[in-house]
Chain A
Amino acid sequence: MATGGGGGEDGASGGEFYLRYYVGHKGKFGHEFLEFEFRPDGKLRYANNSNYKNDTMIRKEVFVSPSVLREARRIIQESEIMKEDDNNWPEPDRVGRQELEIVMGNEHISFTTSKIGSLVDVQTSKDPEGLRIFYYLVQDLKCFVFSLINLHFKIKPIQS
């Protein structure tokens, strides 16, 4: 049976998989955030709340195929985020908070930091190498999820 196709589940890396990303803040427009998660059974959940133009929250969910989960794992694996640590990353603040939680194989990370405006913030931080990995990974994951949600529901996710 062909490997990469639809069949055999775990692929090369094996084991459990869970991913959750959150970015948001509370301000004069209330709690504005973007959050998505991939669950082990393939459920992709997505919520996006921006009160600026209208106050409707977008909440979507869909089951993705094992191939999509495998691709998410690959993106994470290649980033080597699982080797990092958030000890020296900027603390969440008034401007906002990001959270990245991943279970993969026998490792579980729950990282949190402030919003990162640009690479300058990364460069001037106490852990530029680690934070850069986080910075790019988050963008690549958002890009993947936005495409999935956009193609499936034909809505344009709001950048948070």
Chain B
Amino acid sequence: MAAAMAEEDVEFVDYDRNEEEEEDAMDEDDRAGGRALPVPHIVSQGVMRTRGRLLGRSPSVLASNPDRLDSLADAGNPGHGPQRSIEGWILLVSGVKEDAEEDDLYNTFSDFGHVKDLHLNLERRTGYAKGYALVEYESFEEAQTAIKAMNGTQLLTRTVYVDWAFSRGPIQKLTSTRSSTPES
């Protein structure tokens, strides 16, 4: 019984703080090297408006677990650039018109190689396209050609953006100083 209780305690993350306490708790977190919530580390408290009653006990597994999960990334060689998926290269197409159909995307993207897989997800409320598609090609070259040819072009009268879906490493914060003039 006691053992079961102890296990329970480990499993739950302690979210038990109210808003006023939160700021202090966050400093603590920083020093302790990340306890439960990752959020406090990235937000600037001064401008933050918090809402919601998620207090008490959250069973979050991810937030409490610092371990690496399974991944395809080459652990010894993190970096920039696109990450290969298990069977090919995945692209995200955004800006897809709501009445687009799978055929429209399949036909367009087949110009650059064999489309191995295609997800055109629908909005649950309306049943129309949600606005994005995911396209899989076998080879890097096909995928790259599709990006170059299609990014910023018109598809069914709307401008679509095409980019890699996965990266080999974290997003680089190039825009940390907002006042600086754009390079390139």
Name A residues whose Cβ lies closer than 8 Å to a Cβ of B. 1-2, 4-10, 16, 18, 20, 22, 24, 26, 31, 33, 35-37, 39-43, 45-47, 49, 59-71, 74-75, 85-87, 97, 99, 101, 103, 106-112, 136, 139-140, 143-144, 147-148, 150-154
The chain A residue sitting closest to B22, CB to CB, is: A108
Q: Is B68 in contact with chain A by the CB < 8 A criterion?
A: yes
Bound form: Cα–Cα A112–B58 in Å: 9
Q: Given contacts A64-B165, A101-B54, could you give 8 more A-B pairs where the C-beta distance is less than 8 Å?
A: A65-B82, A75-B131, A109-B51, A140-B121, A143-B124, A147-B134, A152-B72, A152-B85
- Taking a contact as CB atoms closer than 8 A, the residue among B15, B151, B170 that contacts A43 in the complex is B170
Name B residues whose Cβ lies closer than 8 Å to a Cβ of A. 11, 15, 38-39, 42-44, 47-55, 58-63, 65, 68-73, 82-83, 85-87, 90, 92, 94-95, 117, 119, 121-125, 130-132, 134, 136, 151-152, 159, 161, 163-171, 173-175, 182, 184
**Which residue, of A22, A87, A150, A152, has the highest number of chain B Cβ atoms within 10 A?**
A152
- Taking a contact as CB atoms closer than 8 A, the residue among A2, A9, A111, A151 that contacts B152 in the complex is A2
* Contact A6/B11 with A61-B70, A109-B50 known, Cβ cut-off 8 Å: no
Q: Chain A binding site: helix, strand, loop or mixed by DSSP?
A: mixed
- Taking a contact as CB atoms closer than 8 A, the residue among B132, B165, B171, B182 that contacts A41 in the complex is B171
Q: Are B86 and A67 neighbours in the complex by a CB distance under 8 Å?
A: no
Give the residues in chain B near A99, CB-CB below 8 Å: 54, 58, 60
- Taking a contact as CB atoms closer than 8 A, the residue among B47, B55, B62, B165 that contacts A151 in the complex is B165
Give the residues in chain B near A67, CB-CB below 8 Å: 92, 94, 161, 163-165
* Contact A39/B38 with A63-B168, A108-B51, A152-B166 known, Cβ cut-off 8 Å: yes
Bound form: Cα–Cα A36–B92 in Å: 19
Q: Are A9 and B170 neighbours in the complex by a CB distance under 8 Å?
A: no
Bound form: Cα–Cα A112–B59 in Å: 11
Q: Are A65 and B136 neighbours in the complex by a CB distance under 8 Å?
A: no
Least distance between A79 CB and chain B CB atoms (Å): 9
Give the residues in chain A near B159, CB-CB below 8 Å: 4
Q: Are A136 and B124 neighbours in the complex by a CB distance under 8 Å?
A: yes
Least distance between A19 CB and chain B CB atoms (Å): 10
* Contact A85/B171 with A47-B69, A103-B43 known, Cβ cut-off 8 Å: no
Q: Are A18 and B175 neighbours in the complex by a CB distance under 8 Å?
A: no
Q: Are A151 and B94 neighbours in the complex by a CB distance under 8 Å?
A: no
The chain A residue sitting closest to B87, CB to CB, is: A154
Q: Are A10 and B175 neighbours in the complex by a CB distance under 8 Å?
A: yes
Give the residues in chain A near B63, CB-CB below 8 Å: 20, 37
Least distance between A76 CB and chain B CB atoms (Å): 12
